[in-house]
Amino acid sequence: MMEMAKRFFLPFILIVFLFAIFLDQNSKPIPLKIILGAPVHLPLSVIIAGSMTLGAIIALSGVLLIKTITNNKNKKGEIEQDKIGRIEELKD
């Protein structure tokens, strides 16, 4: 348990440090207007991080949807094969 904590501690600290630098370098407020209304001024880093997060969520949802559809098709195929096997047993 302690080895795992040691192995992941340094990379975690490095990622946090790099993320802090990213936030500092991209702190300029940018106007963001969504369809109607007055523009909201948000730091560029927040807009980029939000876009990355939203993209990751959409991609993960797509992957999980495809996996679910594939699993359902496989189960359906197994059920059909089982039915065919039973019919062949009854014929014999």
Q: What is the pLDDT of residues 25-71, one digit of tens each?
A: 998 999 988 888 899 999 999 999 899 999 999 999 999 999 999 88
Q: Pick the residue with more confidence: 85 or 55?
A: 55
User: Which secondary structure element, helix H or strand E, spans residue 90, and what is its range?
Assistant: helix 44-91
Q: Which residues of 39-52 are buried (b: 16+ CB within 10 A; e: fewer)?
A: eeeeebbeeeeeee
40: helix, strand or coil = strand
Predicted pLDDT at 1: 64
Decide: helix, strand or coil at residue 31: strand
- Burial classification of residue 86, based on how many CB atoms lie within 10 Å of its CB (0-12 exposed, 13-18 middle, 19 or more buried): exposed
